[in-house]
Amino acid sequence: MLRADVVGGLVHGGEPPAACHDGGMCGRYASIKAPADLADEFRAVDATDGAARVDYNVAPTKQIITVVQRHPRDEDGTPDPDTVERTLRLVRWGLVPSWAKDVKGGARMINARSETAGEKPAFRRALNARRCLIPADGWYEWQRGKDHKQPYYTHYVDGSSLAMAGLWEYWKPKDDPANEYPDGLVTAAVLTAAAVGPLAQVHDRMPLVLPRSAWDAWLDPDTGADSESVSSLLAPPSPELVAAFEIRPIGAAVNNVRNNGPELLEPLGPEDVPEPLQLDLLAGPNPS
- Strand 63-70 and strand 85-93: the pairing is antiparallel
Phi, psi of 215 (to 5 degrees): -60, -45
Per the residue annotation, which of 20, 132, 141, 246 is the catalytic one? 141
CB 219 within 8 A of CB 132: yes
From the CB of residue 267, how many other CB atoms can be counted at a distance below 10 Å? 17
141 is catalytic: yes
Per the residue annotation, which of 26, 132, 169, 246 is the catalytic one? 26
User: Residue 111: CA atoms inside 13 Å, Cβ hemisphere, count?
Assistant: 26
**C-alpha span between 102 and 104 (Å, rounded):** 6
26 is catalytic: yes
Q: Is 219 left (phi over 0), alpha (psi -120 to 50) or beta?
A: alpha
Nearest to 190 by CA among 142, 126, 238, 254: 126
In 113-156, alpha helices (H): 124-129
Active site residues: 26, 141
